[in-house]
């Protein structure tokens, strides 16, 4: 039996409510030569049984059942058995446009190592993807295109694993896998998708195709849970930024614009971590102090704050970066208390006016 053109890999864990929409969108694809690998990562609901049900309907679907190991483990298990010439990844609570695969493959022309397309954020109740344009541009990997790569990195084209088409031979020949890592504070590395993309980019030698078409919809808010900044966000961001420097350097596109783009990402991460700590009302002062010192004493952040213009950031980010530059933990914590009080008063005012 000939190998399929595309392998679609989806880790599945306790998503019975969302899985049918995801799988149905894949089975509606106008491009038919694919295999769908569903990795049931020890689901405790009916997700595993749903996978088997769909596999019974369509011979292109394969199901792997494994003990719970996390999303990286699930994706890696899919890579291990994938037979396609190209590989794309999805999350089981998302869905795709009917022409997702054909659009990605259209852009995978000769001399292209990676296709990057667009996605849209959506609420779990939404069911429509708005395709917009289908303009495709190919950037050859060259120092001449360094600034163009920096612009795309600054706009987060490389951050997510979805809406991308990878060459399977690059993944296999370089033994690329998703990272499974824990930090000393017990937090789990959660930017494994961005790290994987950066790892993959380091082995690209030809060009990257950027397709403006929106082909993927991902659930941004699920009962508010996904709006939280994870505990390990700052450490993860620093790890990913270091990987970006390494990968862009290997590609030969680490120019001043690229360094500035990465610097802005580090500072935004520092601001978001500061905001997370500032708004923790029940967190002990000693813990807040430790977390803020982790940011303030980071050598990269100190250098970045000294070298960066705050005009590039929002007013809120700039205000927090000024506090970090002053290295006054007490002022940061007091500012956080005032932010929470102001936010609470605003909510009460809105409620009273609504009545």
DSSP string, 244-280: HHHHHHHHT---HHHHHHHHHHHHHHHHHHHHHHHT-
Confidence of residue 328 (pLDDT cuts 50, 70, 90): confident
Can you tell me the distance from the alpha carbon of 352 to that of 355, in angstroms, rounded to the nearest whole number?
A: 5
Q: Name the residue ranges covered by the structural domains of the chain.
A: 6-243, 255-354
- Name the nearest CA neighbour of 271 among 340, 339, 322, 327: 322
Quote the pLDDT of residue 227: 40
Reduced to 3 states (helix: H, G, I; strand: E, B; else coil), residue 310 is helix
Grade residue 269 by pLDDT with cuts at 50, 70 and 90: very high
Tell me the mean pLDDT in the region 181-200: 76
Rounded to 5 degrees, what are φ and ψ at 54?
A: -65, -35
Q: What is the DSSP letter of 122?
A: E
Question: Cα separation of 336 and 316, whole Å?
Answer: 12
Question: Distance (Å, rounded) from C-alpha 277 to C-alpha 315?
Answer: 18
Tokens of 213: 């078409």
For residue 182, what pLDDT is reported? 60
Which residue would you say has higher pLDDT here, 174 or 275? 174
Taking residues 105-130, what's their average pLDDT? 83
With cut-offs at 50, 70 and 90, classify the pLDDT of residue 222: very low
Residue 94 CB-half CA count within 13 A: 23
Q: Please give the model's pTM, rounded to 2 decimal places.
A: 0.87
Nearest CA-CA partner of 100 in 84, 119, 125, 124: 119
What DSSP letter does each residue of 53-91 carry, written as one string? Answer: HHHHH-TTEEEEEE----HHHHHHHHHHH--SSEEEE--
Architecture in CATH for domain 6-243: Alpha-Beta Complex (3.90)
Helix or strand holding residue 317 (H, E): helix 315-326
Distance CA 82, CA 10 (A): 12
Cβ distance 122 to 91 under 8 Å? Answer: no
pLDDT at 229: 65
pLDDT at 333 (0 to 100):
79
Q: For tokens 């990913």, name the residue.
A: 240
């Amino acid at each position: 039996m000939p190998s399929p053109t595309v392998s679609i890999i989806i880790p599945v864990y306790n998503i019975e409510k969302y899985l049918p929409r995801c799988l149905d969108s894949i089975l509606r694809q106008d491009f038919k030569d694919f295999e769908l690998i569903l990795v049931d990562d020890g689901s405790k609901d009916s997700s595993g049984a749903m996978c088997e049900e769909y596999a019974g309907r369509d011979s292109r679907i394969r199901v792997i059942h494994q003990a719970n190991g996390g999303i990286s483990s699930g994706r890696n298990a899919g890579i291990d058995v994938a037979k396609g010439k190209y590989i794309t990844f999805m999350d089981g609570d998302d869905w795709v446009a009917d022409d997702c695969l054909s659009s990605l493959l259209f852009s995978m022309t000769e001399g292209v190592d990676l296709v990057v397309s667009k996605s849209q954020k959506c609420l779990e109740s939404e069911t429509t993807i708005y395709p917009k344009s289908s303009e495709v541009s190919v950037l050859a990997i060259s120092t001449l295109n360094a600034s163009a790569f920096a612009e795309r990195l600054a706009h987060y084209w490389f951050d997510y694993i979805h809406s991308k088409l990878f060459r399977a031979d690059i993944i296999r020949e370089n033994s690329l896998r998703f990272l499974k890592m824990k930090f000393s504070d017990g937090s789990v590395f959660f930017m494994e998708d961005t790290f994987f993309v950066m790892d993959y980019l380091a082995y690209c030698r030809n060009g990257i195709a950027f397709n403006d078409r929106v082909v993927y919809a991902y659930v941004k808010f699920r009962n508010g849970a996904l709006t939280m900044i994870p505990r390990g966000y700052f450490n993860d961001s620093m790890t990913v930024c270091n990987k970006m420097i390494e990968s862009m350097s290997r590609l030969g596109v680490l120019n001043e614009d690229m360094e500035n783009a990465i610097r802005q990402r580090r500072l935004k991460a520092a601001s978001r971590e500061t905001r997370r700590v500032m708004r923790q009302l029940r967190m002990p002062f000693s813990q807040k102090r430790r977390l803020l010192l982790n940011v303030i004493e980071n050598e990269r952040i100190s250098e970045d704050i000294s070298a960066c213009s705050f005009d590039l950031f929002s007013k809120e980010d700039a205000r927090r970066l000024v506090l970090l530059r002053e290295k006054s933990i007490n002022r940061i914590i007091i500012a956080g208390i005032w932010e929470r009080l102001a936010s609470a008063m605003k909510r009460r005012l809105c409620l009273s006016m609504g009545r």
